[in-house]
Amino acid sequence: MTNIDTSVQAVAALAQQALAPKDVEPGNIYLVATADGNVQTVDLTSSRYTGTVARKTGTTTVRDAASFLTYYAKHHDAASEVYSDVETLSVTAVLNAHSADEPDFGDHRLVLGLRRTKAWTEWLALDGKLVDQDRFANFLEDQLPYLETPDAATMLEIAQSIKATTKAEFQSSSRLQSGERKFAFVEDTKTSAGPKGDLQIPETFVIAIPPFEGADAYRMTARFKYRLEQSRLTLGFKLEQPEERARAAFADILAAISEGVATPILNGSPTA
């Protein structure tokens, strides 16, 4: 066999060896030659191939202080940081934050995303608005569990009295010494001597509503509003500083979290 033949056989063997399939192992990165002569990178380092997670990542959102403390207790370390933002009423924990000596990724986070209760949303939706008697009375009846002063039975009686006069024409209003508002009305205006009467409602009433899911109820004073225009009465209320009550609820939630974490809570937001 000539030297040329030997060289050809050696090249052919190398070519066959290059084309032969080879085993690859998860956790490595390979360069693979494609049929068109290019080189493709194959990354087998992700958890999809290794079956293990290299580190904790992601953001978890919870809705109350108890859930926040449970997750924090499980995943925090000595370098974890907690931030509060009163503008967004949120609390964020960076569970893998930088330590004083070593940097970290800062991408494993816990967020307290408070959610307003249905009752709180409904009261704020009607706050400062004037509506017809029937709608106002129905609203009071639906919200009886949150009425404190006067008590629910008295407020139900007021709501039913308001409903009973929806077809009346109101003539005047006056304030009594007790602070209640009295509205004089005529039930039947088709005759000159129709039945007359008056409707009395308190000047203010007190409600107690939890602003957020999982939070305690907070008291607010509501002041009755009304408009008497062309014998038609519309009613409503104005809540006294509802957002201040929400902030007070947030402050109490923050205090509960502060007692359960071993690090001072920072006022602000972590870097993205």
User: Is residue 204 located within the same domain as residue 123?
Assistant: yes
What is the model's pLDDT at position 253?
A: 97
User: Is residue 79 located within the same domain as residue 137?
Assistant: no
Structural domain total, the chain: 3
Asked if residue 65 is part of any domain, the answer here is: yes
User: Is residue 135 located within the same domain as residue 158?
Assistant: yes
What is the model's pLDDT at position 233?
A: 86
Could you tell me the maximum CA-CA distance found in the chain, to the nearest angstrom? 135
Q: Domain residues for 182?
A: 118-244
CA separation for the pair 218, 154 (Å, rounded): 21
User: Is residue 227 located within the same domain as residue 132?
Assistant: yes
User: Is residue 172 located within the same domain as residue 97?
Assistant: no
Asked if residue 79 is part of any domain, the answer here is: yes
Which of 149, 143, 150 lies closest to 125 in space, CA to CA?
Answer: 143
What is the model's pLDDT at position 54?
A: 75
User: Is residue 133 located within the same domain as residue 235?
Assistant: yes
Supply angle C-alpha 150, 116, 106, rounded to 5: 150
What is the model's pLDDT at position 41?
A: 76
User: Is residue 105 located within the same domain as residue 138?
Assistant: no
What is the model's pLDDT at position 14?
A: 52
User: Is residue 231 located within the same domain as residue 196?
Assistant: yes
CA separation for the pair 84, 272 (Å, rounded): 15
Asked if residue 12 is part of any domain, the answer here is: no
User: Is residue 131 located within the same domain as residue 107?
Assistant: no
Which of 250, 225, 226 lies closest to 239 in space, CA to CA?
Answer: 225
Asked if residue 10 is part of any domain, the answer here is: no
Peptide bond into 202 cis (omega under 30): no
User: Is residue 99 located within the same domain as residue 130?
Assistant: no
CA separation for the pair 254, 154 (Å, rounded): 36
User: Is residue 172 located within the same domain as residue 90?
Assistant: no
User: Is residue 191 located within the same domain as residue 262?
Assistant: no
Asked if residue 14 is part of any domain, the answer here is: no
What is the model's pLDDT at position 46?
A: 63
Each of the 272 residues of the chain gets a pLDDT tens digit; together they read 565 566 555 555 555 555 556 676 776 776 666 666 676 777 766 666 666 667 899 999 999 999 999 999 999 999 999 999 999 999 999 999 999 999 999 999 999 999 999 999 999 999 999 999 999 999 999 999 999 999 999 999 999 988 888 888 877 667 766 667 777 777 764 434 445 677 788 899 999 999 999 999 999 999 999 888 887 888 999 999 999 999 999 999 999 999 999 999 999 999 87
Asked if residue 97 is part of any domain, the answer here is: yes
